[in-house]
Amino acid sequence: MRKLEGKVAIVTGGTGGIGSEISLRFASEGAKVVIADLKIDRAKEIAEKIKKDSGNAIFIETDVANADSVKKMIEETVRTFSKIEILVNNAGKMQIQNFLEMDPEDWNEIININLTGAFLCSKFALPHIIKQGWGRIINISSTSGITGGTCGAHYAAAKGGLIALTKALSREFAKKGITVNAIAPSKIETGMLYGSLDEKGEKALLKKIPVGRFGKPEDIASLALFLASEESGYITGEVIVASGGYM
Protein backbone atom coordinates (compact mmCIF):
# COMPACT_ATOMS: atom_id res chain seq x y z
CA MET A 1 0.00 0.00 0.00
CA ARG A 2 1.19 3.50 -0.80
CA LYS A 3 2.30 5.58 2.20
CA LEU A 4 -0.28 8.37 1.87
CA GLU A 5 -3.16 6.44 0.31
CA GLY A 6 -6.38 8.44 0.60
CA LYS A 7 -4.87 11.31 2.58
CA VAL A 8 -5.57 14.93 1.63
CA ALA A 9 -2.48 17.12 1.57
CA ILE A 10 -2.11 20.86 1.03
CA VAL A 11 1.25 22.09 -0.27
CA THR A 12 1.68 25.85 -0.23
CA GLY A 13 4.17 27.28 -2.68
CA GLY A 14 3.56 24.08 -4.58
CA THR A 15 5.05 25.35 -7.84
CA GLY A 16 8.59 26.03 -6.61
CA GLY A 17 11.51 23.64 -6.86
CA ILE A 18 10.88 22.05 -3.46
CA GLY A 19 7.11 22.52 -3.43
CA SER A 20 6.52 20.94 -6.83
CA GLU A 21 8.66 17.94 -5.94
CA ILE A 22 6.76 17.44 -2.67
CA SER A 23 3.45 17.68 -4.54
CA LEU A 24 4.53 15.10 -7.10
CA ARG A 25 5.95 12.73 -4.47
CA PHE A 26 2.88 12.92 -2.24
CA ALA A 27 0.60 12.26 -5.20
CA SER A 28 2.68 9.26 -6.26
CA GLU A 29 2.16 7.84 -2.77
CA GLY A 30 -1.62 8.13 -2.99
CA ALA A 31 -2.36 11.57 -1.55
CA LYS A 32 -4.96 13.92 -2.97
CA VAL A 33 -2.89 17.07 -3.37
CA VAL A 34 -3.94 20.70 -3.23
CA ILE A 35 -1.36 22.99 -4.83
CA ALA A 36 -1.82 26.38 -3.17
CA ASP A 37 0.11 29.06 -5.02
CA LEU A 38 -0.13 32.30 -6.97
CA LYS A 39 1.64 31.03 -10.10
CA ILE A 40 -1.42 29.88 -11.99
CA ASP A 41 0.09 28.45 -15.17
CA ARG A 42 2.83 26.51 -13.39
CA ALA A 43 0.40 25.17 -10.76
CA LYS A 44 -2.01 23.96 -13.45
CA GLU A 45 0.90 22.28 -15.23
CA ILE A 46 1.89 20.35 -12.10
CA ALA A 47 -1.70 19.36 -11.36
CA GLU A 48 -2.10 18.06 -14.92
CA LYS A 49 1.14 16.09 -14.66
CA ILE A 50 -0.15 14.44 -11.49
CA LYS A 51 -3.44 13.56 -13.17
CA LYS A 52 -1.66 12.09 -16.20
CA ASP A 53 0.26 9.86 -13.80
CA SER A 54 -3.09 8.63 -12.40
CA GLY A 55 -2.90 10.87 -9.36
CA ASN A 56 -5.37 13.35 -7.92
CA ALA A 57 -4.56 17.06 -7.62
CA ILE A 58 -6.18 20.45 -7.85
CA PHE A 59 -4.81 23.98 -7.94
CA ILE A 60 -6.21 26.75 -5.76
CA GLU A 61 -4.91 30.27 -6.28
CA THR A 62 -3.74 31.36 -2.84
CA ASP A 63 -1.94 34.30 -1.28
CA VAL A 64 -0.70 32.79 1.99
CA ALA A 65 -0.14 36.24 3.50
CA ASN A 66 -3.83 37.12 3.10
CA ALA A 67 -6.22 35.67 5.68
CA ASP A 68 -9.27 35.75 3.39
CA SER A 69 -7.37 34.02 0.58
CA VAL A 70 -6.15 31.27 2.91
CA LYS A 71 -9.58 30.76 4.43
CA LYS A 72 -11.13 30.39 0.98
CA MET A 73 -8.42 27.88 -0.01
CA ILE A 74 -9.15 25.76 3.05
CA GLU A 75 -12.90 25.91 2.42
CA GLU A 76 -12.47 24.90 -1.22
CA THR A 77 -10.21 22.02 -0.21
CA VAL A 78 -12.84 20.68 2.17
CA ARG A 79 -15.62 21.15 -0.39
CA THR A 80 -13.60 19.17 -2.93
CA PHE A 81 -12.07 16.42 -0.80
CA SER A 82 -14.20 16.54 2.40
CA LYS A 83 -11.21 16.60 4.75
CA ILE A 84 -7.60 17.67 5.38
CA GLU A 85 -4.89 15.61 7.05
CA ILE A 86 -1.56 17.00 5.89
CA LEU A 87 -0.34 20.58 5.56
CA VAL A 88 3.05 21.51 4.14
CA ASN A 89 3.86 25.15 4.79
CA ASN A 90 6.39 25.60 2.01
CA ALA A 91 5.52 29.01 0.52
CA GLY A 92 8.37 31.44 0.96
CA LYS A 93 10.36 34.29 -0.45
CA MET A 94 14.03 35.15 -0.07
CA GLN A 95 15.49 38.63 -0.47
CA ILE A 96 19.22 39.31 -0.17
CA GLN A 97 19.52 42.62 1.64
CA ASN A 98 21.74 44.36 4.17
CA PHE A 99 19.99 45.23 7.41
CA LEU A 100 20.58 48.99 7.28
CA GLU A 101 19.17 49.11 3.74
CA MET A 102 16.02 47.28 4.79
CA ASP A 103 12.78 49.23 4.79
CA PRO A 104 9.84 48.31 7.03
CA GLU A 105 8.01 47.28 3.86
CA ASP A 106 10.79 44.81 2.99
CA TRP A 107 10.72 43.38 6.51
CA ASN A 108 6.94 43.00 6.55
CA GLU A 109 6.80 41.35 3.14
CA ILE A 110 9.32 38.63 4.03
CA ILE A 111 7.81 38.02 7.48
CA ASN A 112 4.29 37.89 6.07
CA ILE A 113 5.05 35.37 3.33
CA ASN A 114 7.43 33.12 5.25
CA LEU A 115 5.96 33.20 8.76
CA THR A 116 2.51 34.75 8.87
CA GLY A 117 1.54 32.56 5.92
CA ALA A 118 2.35 29.43 7.92
CA PHE A 119 0.36 30.81 10.86
CA LEU A 120 -2.69 31.50 8.71
CA CYS A 121 -2.63 28.17 6.89
CA SER A 122 -2.18 26.27 10.15
CA LYS A 123 -4.90 28.27 11.90
CA PHE A 124 -7.54 27.58 9.26
CA ALA A 125 -6.48 24.00 8.48
CA LEU A 126 -6.12 22.70 12.04
CA PRO A 127 -9.83 22.53 12.93
CA HIS A 128 -10.32 20.19 9.96
CA ILE A 129 -7.19 18.16 10.73
CA ILE A 130 -8.32 17.75 14.35
CA LYS A 131 -11.59 16.22 13.13
CA GLN A 132 -9.60 13.38 11.56
CA GLY A 133 -7.85 12.53 14.82
CA TRP A 134 -4.61 12.23 12.84
CA GLY A 135 -2.53 14.79 11.06
CA ARG A 136 0.80 16.11 9.98
CA ILE A 137 2.07 19.67 9.65
CA ILE A 138 5.45 20.09 7.98
CA ASN A 139 7.05 23.53 7.95
CA ILE A 140 9.82 24.22 5.45
CA SER A 141 12.23 26.44 7.35
CA SER A 142 15.91 27.02 6.53
CA THR A 143 19.33 26.76 8.14
CA SER A 144 19.17 30.57 8.06
CA GLY A 145 16.66 30.30 10.90
CA ILE A 146 19.32 28.54 12.98
CA THR A 147 22.54 30.30 11.99
CA GLY A 148 21.29 33.71 10.85
CA GLY A 149 22.29 32.90 7.29
CA THR A 150 23.62 35.35 4.73
CA CYS A 151 20.44 36.48 2.95
CA GLY A 152 19.08 39.04 5.34
CA ALA A 153 17.88 39.52 8.90
CA HIS A 154 14.22 39.49 7.83
CA TYR A 155 14.55 36.08 6.15
CA ALA A 156 16.48 34.62 9.10
CA ALA A 157 13.95 36.01 11.56
CA ALA A 158 11.03 34.58 9.60
CA LYS A 159 12.60 31.13 9.29
CA GLY A 160 13.65 31.18 12.96
CA GLY A 161 10.10 32.14 13.89
CA LEU A 162 8.86 29.22 11.84
CA ILE A 163 11.00 26.89 13.94
CA ALA A 164 9.54 28.34 17.15
CA LEU A 165 6.02 28.03 15.72
CA THR A 166 6.75 24.39 14.91
CA LYS A 167 7.76 23.63 18.48
CA ALA A 168 4.80 25.49 19.98
CA LEU A 169 2.22 23.78 17.77
CA SER A 170 3.79 20.37 18.33
CA ARG A 171 3.22 20.69 22.07
CA GLU A 172 -0.29 22.09 21.78
CA PHE A 173 -1.65 19.51 19.34
CA ALA A 174 0.26 16.31 20.15
CA LYS A 175 -2.66 14.90 22.14
CA LYS A 176 -4.91 15.45 19.12
CA GLY A 177 -2.87 12.93 17.12
CA ILE A 178 -1.09 15.64 15.14
CA THR A 179 2.65 15.90 14.70
CA VAL A 180 4.35 19.14 13.71
CA ASN A 181 7.91 19.16 12.41
CA ALA A 182 10.20 21.44 10.44
CA ILE A 183 12.73 20.78 7.71
CA ALA A 184 15.66 23.18 7.50
CA PRO A 185 17.28 22.88 4.06
CA SER A 186 20.48 24.67 3.18
CA LYS A 187 21.77 24.88 -0.39
CA ILE A 188 19.16 23.22 -2.62
CA GLU A 189 19.17 23.28 -6.43
CA THR A 190 16.31 25.68 -7.01
CA GLY A 191 15.83 28.97 -8.80
CA MET A 192 16.15 30.69 -5.43
CA LEU A 193 19.70 29.33 -5.01
CA TYR A 194 20.96 29.89 -8.54
CA GLY A 195 19.43 33.34 -8.65
CA SER A 196 21.78 34.34 -5.84
CA LEU A 197 25.03 32.87 -7.23
CA ASP A 198 27.36 33.49 -10.15
CA GLU A 199 29.61 30.71 -11.50
CA LYS A 200 32.52 31.68 -9.28
CA GLY A 201 30.31 31.81 -6.19
CA GLU A 202 28.81 28.44 -7.05
CA LYS A 203 32.22 26.75 -7.23
CA ALA A 204 33.38 28.37 -4.00
CA LEU A 205 30.24 27.33 -2.17
CA LEU A 206 30.42 23.73 -3.36
CA LYS A 207 33.87 23.42 -1.80
CA LYS A 208 32.36 24.24 1.60
CA ILE A 209 29.73 21.48 1.48
CA PRO A 210 31.11 18.26 3.02
CA VAL A 211 29.11 15.89 0.79
CA GLY A 212 30.41 17.73 -2.28
CA ARG A 213 27.12 18.68 -3.93
CA PHE A 214 24.09 20.89 -3.60
CA GLY A 215 20.93 19.30 -2.31
CA LYS A 216 18.18 18.34 -4.72
CA PRO A 217 14.47 19.05 -4.29
CA GLU A 218 14.02 15.28 -4.25
CA ASP A 219 16.10 15.13 -1.06
CA ILE A 220 13.64 17.40 0.71
CA ALA A 221 10.60 15.66 -0.79
CA SER A 222 11.81 12.30 0.54
CA LEU A 223 12.15 13.77 4.02
CA ALA A 224 8.74 15.44 3.80
CA LEU A 225 7.20 12.13 2.73
CA PHE A 226 8.66 10.40 5.77
CA LEU A 227 7.35 13.12 8.11
CA ALA A 228 3.92 12.91 6.48
CA SER A 229 3.68 9.14 6.82
CA GLU A 230 2.71 6.78 9.62
CA GLU A 231 6.38 5.92 10.05
CA SER A 232 7.13 9.26 11.73
CA GLY A 233 4.40 9.06 14.36
CA TYR A 234 6.79 9.32 17.33
CA ILE A 235 8.58 12.39 15.95
CA THR A 236 7.21 15.84 16.71
CA GLY A 237 8.57 19.28 17.46
CA GLU A 238 11.79 18.49 15.64
CA VAL A 239 13.86 20.51 13.18
CA ILE A 240 15.57 18.22 10.70
CA VAL A 241 18.51 19.86 8.96
CA ALA A 242 19.15 18.84 5.35
CA SER A 243 22.39 20.58 4.49
CA GLY A 244 24.95 18.03 3.31
CA GLY A 245 26.92 18.92 6.43
CA TYR A 246 27.10 22.65 5.61
CA MET A 247 25.79 25.21 8.08
Catalytic residues: 155
The three-class DSSP label of residue 93 is coil
At residue 66, the pLDDT reads 98
At residue 197, the pLDDT reads 65
Q: DSSP letter string over 203-226?
A: HHHHHH-TTSS-B-HHHHHHHHHH
Task: Give the pLDDT of the chain (247 residues) as one tens digit per residue.
Answer: 899 999 999 999 999 899 999 999 999 999 999 999 999 999 999 999 999 999 999 999 999 999 999 999 999 999 999 999 999 999 999 999 999 999 999 999 999 999 999 999 999 999 999 999 999 999 999 999 999 998 899 999 999 999 999 999 999 999 999 999 999 999 888 866 665 667 777 788 888 899 999 899 999 999 999 999 999 999 999 999 999 998 7
At residue 32, the pLDDT reads 98
Q: How far is CA 58 from CA 8, 45, 50, 113, 202, in A?
A: 11, 10, 9, 22, 36
Distance in angstroms (rounded) separating the CA atoms of residues 62 and 201:
34
At residue 189, the pLDDT reads 86
| Domains by residue range for the chain, with CATH | 8-239 (3.40.50.720)
Whether the model pTM is above 0.75: yes
How remote is the C-alpha of 188 from its chain's centroid?
13
CB atoms within 10 A of CB 38: 14
The three-class DSSP label of residue 182 is strand
> What confidence tens digit (pLDDT) does each residue in 88-126 have?
999 999 999 999 999 999 999 999 999 999 999 999 999
